[in-house]
Structure 1
Amino acid sequence: MSKLTWAMIGGGKGSQIGPTHRISAGLDGHFHLVASALDADPERGKAFAIDLGIAPERAYGSWQEMLEEERDRSDRPDLVTVATPNATHYEITSAFLTAGFDVLCEKPLTMTTQEAERIVAITRETGRVCAVNYGYSGYPLVRQMRAMVAAGDLGRIRLIKAEFAHGFHADAEEADNPRVRWRYDPAQAGVSAVFADAGIHAFHMACFVSGQAPREVSADFASLVGDRQLEDDAMLNIRLDGGALCRLWTSAVAIGRMHGLTLQVFGEKGGLSWQQQHPEQLLFTPLGGRTQILERGDAGLSAEAVRASRIPIGHAEGMPVAFANIYHDLADVLRAKKAGRAPDPLALHYPTAEDGLLSMRAIAAAANSAGSGGRWTDI
């Protein structure tokens, strides 16, 4: 089976997310990195691309140059990953989709709901794939949760408790650090900071696992450090269309919380609990019964969890492997498109442009709600 070709925009030397994408895309041998525009500094981006093994003529100084040169090649990339700052996602993603490329965009998909609506429209007009990197949904036991909920193991879902709280922006002395400051600047981050940056992962996971879409939100945003224009702590109540209620807390000032992505799902017949910092175990408590520990890689898990696991039980997998499951899904879908056949149904769990649009609507609604004293606001 030949490898698919892959290109990357952003994620250059020193990037926080770039190495994770390169590890994840290559983990299963599906993708070969053939072209890139890795850095806002053209020469630095070209040099790093050559260090990664990309041919000099396909190491570009800008995404515009890459688009111009790659669009008419017979061996153009099968997938383009966009891992640039948030404010550039719409322009780059829409340009590559329109030119006929399939795209994986880092979250958030865009800065506004209107931009996200346009991205969805482009994917429908062109038939291209546009995925959004809510990579934590690739964890095997998160997919096990989704499968158990869908199978009715918990009965009707009543309540979801979702968190993504850390303390890395709690130091007031660091408030002017450029790596921190931009996240609280509306011109660069949009209408929300910590919810759009961290809490949106918990939001997506709650919808992904429950299989329910959000209807309305009541939100409280707080800026607790310095004179930040956007929130560094948020609490949201979200009513889902299947009748469940989601309580979501996200924070960047929770000192002592290292990562803090957790999800608990409570139904009529049982409850589930998962933590990203301990991703190899899922706690399942049936009504009236004792708590059971489900281990990744164990026998008897769902087909979704089995497909997402690579190494034997007792040997920890991690975040790059979760992201790799998104790339694995996309590889299956892209190969099926090339062959003119239907993809494996288990490959269709990757987050789509529609998921990205839903997230942008949730961010806008939450910001509106917070600005009106927590008024319930339609999503």
Structure 2
Amino acid sequence: MARLNWGMIGGGEGSQIGPAHRLGAGLDGEFAFVAGALDHRPEAGRDYGRRLGLDPDRSYGNWREMLEGEAGRADRVDLVTVATPNATHFEITREFLKAGFHVLCEKPMTMTVEEGEEIVALARETGRICAVNYGYTGYSLVRHMKAMVARGDLGRIRLVVAEFAHGHHADAADADNPRVRWRYDPAQAGVSAQFADCGIHALHMASFVTGQEVERLSADTVSCIESRALEDDAMVNFRMSGGTVGRLWTSSVAIGRQHGLTLQVFGEKGGLRWAQEQPNQLYWMPLGQRLQVIERGEAGLSPEADRTTRVTIGHAEGMPLAFANIYKDLAEAIRARKEGREMDPAADLYPRAEDGLRSMAAVFAVAASGKADGTWVDARPPMFR
């Protein structure tokens, strides 16, 4: 089976996220890395692309050059990944969708709700895939959690508790560190810092696993380091479309926490707990029974979990493999469209533009609620109300 052609914008040399995408896209042999505009410095991007094995004529100086070059090729890329600074996501994603490309955009998909609604409408109009990289939903046991909830193992879901708290921005002496400072600068980050950076991962995870959307929320936001214009800690209460109560804590000043993404789901008949730092174990407590530890790769898991397990039980799988599962989903979606067939339902789990839009609406809702001392606000984008 021929590999699909894949291209990347951003993710250049020294990038934090670029290697995870390249590893993820190439892991299963579904995609061939054939084109890229990898750096905002044209010559640096071209040089790095050539060193990664790209043909010189497909190692581009910027995304516009790549759009023009790929649009006219018979072997054009099947999927473009956008991994550039946040404020550029909307324009690049919009233009590639308009030109008929499938797109995987890093989060946040846009900087405003209005931009998000435009992307959703454009993806629907063009019939192109627009996915958003909420990559943690690619973990095998997160998908098993979703399957357990969907098949009713927990009964009606009463409560979901999500966290994404770390302590890597806790040093006030880092106030002038450019790698930290921009995150708390409204001119560069928008209306939110920590919630927009990490909290939306936890919120999306809650929706992904429960199958419910966030409808309204109340937020307490604070800058624990007072020189920051945007929040470095937030506590958010929310209500979901199926009646589930939600609690979310996100922080960048929680010294001692490293990554900190965890999800707990409590239903009428049992509870689940999963932590990204120990992704191979899912803790399951059926009502009135003993605690059970579900291991990734064990027999009898759901098709969604089995499809996304590559190595045998007892061997760790990490973030690049979670990203690889998103790419595996997208490869199946693209191939199904090319072949005119229905895609494998166990693969139909990649986050959509609609998820990116809901996240941006939640970012603005948290910012508004935080400024209004926790007033409950509608968290839905206007087009979904």
Q: TM-score band (shorter)?
A: over 0.9
Question: Structure 2: how far apart are the matches of 1:69 and 1:269?
Answer: 56
Matched with 1:48 is 48
Matched with 2:36 is 36
Q: Which residues of 2 match residues 68-79 of structure 1 at below 5 A?
A: 68-79=68-79
Q: Contact 1:4 / 1:78 at 8 angstroms: preserved in 2?
A: yes
Matched with 2:198 is 198
Question: Structure 1: how far apart are the matches of 2:15 and 2:47?
Answer: 15
Matched with 2:359 is 359
Q: Contact 1:175 / 1:226 at 8 angstroms: preserved in 2?
A: no
Q: Does 1:138 align with 2:138?
A: yes
Q: CA deviation at 1:226?
A: 3.8
Question: Structure 2: how far apart are the matches of 1:275 and 1:345?
Answer: 25
Q: Which residues of 2 match residues 124-273 of structure 1 at below 5 A?
A: 124-273=124-273
Q: Which residues of 2 match residues 319-338 of structure 1 at below 5 A?
A: 319-338=319-338
Q: CA deviation at 1:186?
A: 1.2
SS of equivalent residue, structure 2 residue 176: coil
Question: Structure 1: how far apart are the matches of 2:219 and 2:57?
Answer: 50
Question: Structure 2: how far apart are the matches of 1:110 and 1:177?
Answer: 25
Question: Structure 2: how far apart are the matches of 1:43 and 1:224?
Answer: 41
Give deviations 1:226-246, integer Å, cap 9, x for gaps. 411110000000100111111
Matched with 1:287 is 287
Question: What is the percent sequence identity of the aligned residues?
Answer: 67
Question: Structure 2: how far apart are the matches of 1:329 and 1:259?
Answer: 25
Question: Structure 2: how far apart are the matches of 1:151 and 1:10?
Answer: 40
Question: Structure 1: how far apart are the matches of 2:14 and 2:77?
Answer: 24
Return structure 1 stretches of 4+ with deviation > 4 angstroms. Answer: none
Q: Contact 1:36 / 1:60 at 8 angstroms: preserved in 2?
A: yes
- Normalised by the size of structure 1, how large is the TM-score? 0.99
Q: Does 1:64 align with 2:59?
A: no
Could you tell me which amino acid in structure 2 is paired with residue 367 of structure 1?
A
Question: Structure 2: how far apart are the matches of 1:186 and 1:120?
Answer: 25
Could you tell me which amino acid in structure 2 is paired with residue 24 of structure 1?
G
Could you tell me which amino acid in structure 1 is paired with residue 14 of structure 2?
G
Question: Structure 1: how far apart are the matches of 2:74 and 2:125?
Answer: 23
- Normalised by the size of structure 2, how large is the TM-score? 0.98
Could you tell me which amino acid in structure 2 is paired with residue 321 of structure 1?
L
Question: Structure 2: how far apart are the matches of 1:61 and 1:224?
Answer: 41
Question: Structure 1: how far apart are the matches of 2:346 and 2:306?
Answer: 10
Count of residue pairs the alignment pairs up? 379
Question: Structure 2: how far apart are the matches of 1:30 and 1:176?
Answer: 43
Q: Contact 2:304 / 2:347 at 8 angstroms: preserved in 1?
A: no
Q: Contact 1:8 / 1:36 at 8 angstroms: preserved in 2?
A: yes
Question: Structure 1: how far apart are the matches of 2:25 and 2:182?
Answer: 28
Gaps spanning 5+ residues in structure 2: where?
A: 380-385
CA RMSD between the two structures: 0.6
Question: Structure 2: how far apart are the matches of 1:83 and 1:176?
Answer: 25
